[in-house]
């Protein structure tokens, strides 16, 4: 029953988006979608890794690498395990379509920009409002990327939500890992300040 209702909702939203799509809207959404693409995430991953290595932030760098590489592996594994075909409209935009669930753009952008927001916000020395704006900006971008995938007709709503759910779980684990390692490091320094 729930599966049938979800499939109906997926189809309804897909058809509504397709009916209201315009050439200008497609161009804008394609540009937004590119911000969550594998090439964009790869550039972000390497740029962030280089910056963190330069700063000597080895614990955060480990979490950064785990976040990006883990998200890519998780996306691939889930796609191969579930084998959900793309919506029919995807063929017009994708030359080499992969499986539909989960949305790799949704998952990748949530992990990538979510991790970026975490790293930047944790280094900002200012009012709490500044950190809130950083996180809110990342959230808006992530939401826009997910919406763009729906507008372009290359994913169903459940693909995007599934990508967000998996991405949030993995991002949370990576951040908890970084924070735990930082606490251990601070505790070790307190106990052995000259080591």
Domain ranges of the chain: 8-191
pLDDT in tens, 104-156: 999 999 999 999 999 999 988 878 889 999 999 999 999 999 999 999 999 99
pLDDT at 88: 86
Statement: residue 191 has pLDDT above 60: no
Rounded CA separation 24/17 (Å): 14
Choose which CATH entry (3.20.190, 1.20.120, 1.10.287, 1.20.144) describes domain 8-191.
1.20.144
pLDDT in tens, 83-92: 999 998 888 8
Q: Which residues contact 155 (CB under 8 A, 6 or more apart)?
A: 86, 87, 90, 100, 103, 105, 106, 149
Rounded CA separation 66/71 (Å): 8
**Predicted confidence band at 183 (pLDDT cuts at 50, 70, 90)?**
confident
Residue of 178, 55, 58 lying closest to 115 (CA atoms): 178
- The pTM of this model reads 0.89
Other Cβ atoms closer than 10 A to 73: 11
Report whether 109 contacts 143 (CB < 8 A): no
């Amino acid at each position: 029953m729930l599966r049938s209702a979800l499939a109906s909702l997926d189809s309804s939203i897909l058809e509504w988006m397709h009916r209201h799509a315009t050439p200008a809207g497609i161009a804008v959404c394609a540009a937004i979608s590119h911000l969550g693409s594998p090439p964009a995430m790869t550039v972000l991953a390497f740029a962030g890794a280089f910056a963190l290595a330069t700063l000597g932030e080895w614990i955060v760098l480990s979490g950064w690498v785990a976040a990006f590489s883990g998200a890519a592996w998780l996306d691939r594994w889930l796609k191969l395990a579930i084998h959900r075909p793309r919506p029919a409209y995807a063929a017009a935009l994708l030359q080499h379509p992969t499986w539909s669930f989960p949305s790799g753009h949704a998952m990748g952008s949530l992990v990538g920009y979510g991790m970026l927001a975490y790293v930047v916000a944790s280094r900002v020395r200012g009012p709490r409002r500044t950190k809130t704006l950083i996180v809110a900006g990342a959230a808006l971008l992530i939401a826009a990327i997910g919406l763009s995938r729906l507008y372009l007709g290359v994913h169903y709503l459940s693909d995007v939500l599934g990508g967000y759910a998996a991405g949030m779980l993995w991002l949370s684990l990576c951040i908890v890992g970084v924070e735990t390692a930082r606490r251990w490091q601070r505790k070790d320094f307190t106990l052995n300040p000259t080591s």
